[in-house]
Structure 1
Amino acid sequence: MTVNEIKEILDAEIICGKDCADKEVHTACGADMMSDVLAFVKNQSVLLTGLCNPQVIRTSEMMDIICIVFVRGKKPDQGMIALAEERGIVLMTTSHRMFSACGMLYENGLRGGTKC
């Protein structure tokens, strides 16, 4: 699944990284605790989260997450956007709740890993 397909499925808005919309995403993780994300050892993933702080970007970089979707309409501040742009991470926002957003992606064929 591509980042652009995730955008369409979730009716999301791309905040930064539009030039990476054709990147492939292989797995997904929905979490608000970054320790759970660190236990999710997969690359080329999308992270769905309601946590909106710079640590989300830093954790995603360490885990080779290429796209972060902020659920419940949350939007990152300019500092987070700049950090994501430097790291080449796509940021999106959707009005859907995490449970619904994860279900929508699963229903369309995107699967998670074994630990998240």
Structure 2
Amino acid sequence: MKVQDIIDILKAEILVEGNLEEEVKTACGSDMMSDVLAFVKDQSVLLTGLMNPQVVRTAEMMDMHCIIFVRGKHPDALVLNLAEQKDITILATPYRMFTACGLLFQNGLGGGCDIS
């Protein structure tokens, strides 16, 4: 799935435009960046309600190319500027995290979670 597809599915607003043709394989919904660092595999989209620069730093470390802020949240200029420097697309969706994750899953984007 491409970032542009996600924009359409989630009725998302583009706050920082990176490569909208970027292919993503999985999605991760979390407000705990330690969980993202511990459990994310493949190239993922990060859905979160957390509004600080650590979100962008975590996405960069995990080679993520898109962060989606849920519940219509808009981060401040510091977060947006950092994302622009790192070439990370920032989107805002009006949906809650549960609904946004469900819509992405319903449209074929997996979670990338290995259960033993």
State TM-score, norm by structure 2: 0.94
Counterpart in 2 of 1:78? 77
Amino acid at match of 1:62: M
Counterpart in 2 of 1:43? 42
Counterpart in 1 of 2:62? 63
Matches within 5 A, 1:86-105: 86-105=85-104
TM-superposed deviation, 1:74: 0.6
RMSD: 1.4
Moved over 3 A (4+): none
Equivalents in 1 of 2:24, 2:40: separation in Å? 14
TM-superposed deviation, 1:43: 3.5
Give the 3-state SS of the residue equivalent to 1:80 in structure 2: helix
Task: Tell me, yes or no, if structure 1 residue 10 matches structure 2 residue 10.
Answer: yes
Q: Deviations over 1:71-110 (max 9, x none)?
A: 0011111111110011110000001000000000000000
- Count residues with an aligned counterpart: 115
State TM-score, norm by structure 1: 0.94
Equivalents in 2 of 1:40, 1:88: separation in Å? 23
